[in-house]
Amino acid sequence: MCNNYCGRKKISRFPRRLKSRSVNCIVSLQQSFMPRTALLFLILLLSFIYQFSYSQGKGQLSGRVVDRGTQAPLPGISVLLQDGTGSTTDSSGAFRFTELDVKTYSIEFTGIGYKPRSLFNIVVNVYR
């Protein structure tokens, strides 16, 4: 296992010395691999924990803003969540928030020439 080397010391081929040095070599190999193995295990464990926690608590919220009378899409409307996250509707009146915490939100819609409108108790669930 050691190929006659233990660290930088070459192990002698004499039988009386070989036994004690080979034990030292095995111990030395265990000591050198142990920190690397423990570090690798720790990194893998943390990445799995991060991935698990990241995927458990995120959701998205999307919708479309249209004129009440004509049902025409309203581009450029500001959409603001109560936590300060904001967006603007695109040319088709659509908006989307991703990576939101799973909880209940209130949304405020404002636009030039339109009265501000709010929606309350909008529940965001985990991605499916």
122 membership: H or E segment, kind and range: strand 114-123
Burial of 65 (0-12, 13-18, 19+ CB in 10 A): buried
Domain residue limits, the chain: 5-54, 58-123
pLDDT in tens, 72-105: 999 999 999 998 999 999 999 999 999 888 889 9
What is the model's pLDDT at position 18? 46
The pair of structure tokens assigned to 32 is 């050198």
- The residues, any chain, with a CB within 8 Å of residue 14's CB and separated by 6 or more, are none
pLDDT of residue 107 exceeding 70: yes
Report whether CATH 2.60.40.1120 matches the domain 58-123.
yes
pLDDT in tens, 12-62: 554 554 445 555 555 555 555 556 676 776 676 666 666 655 556 788 999
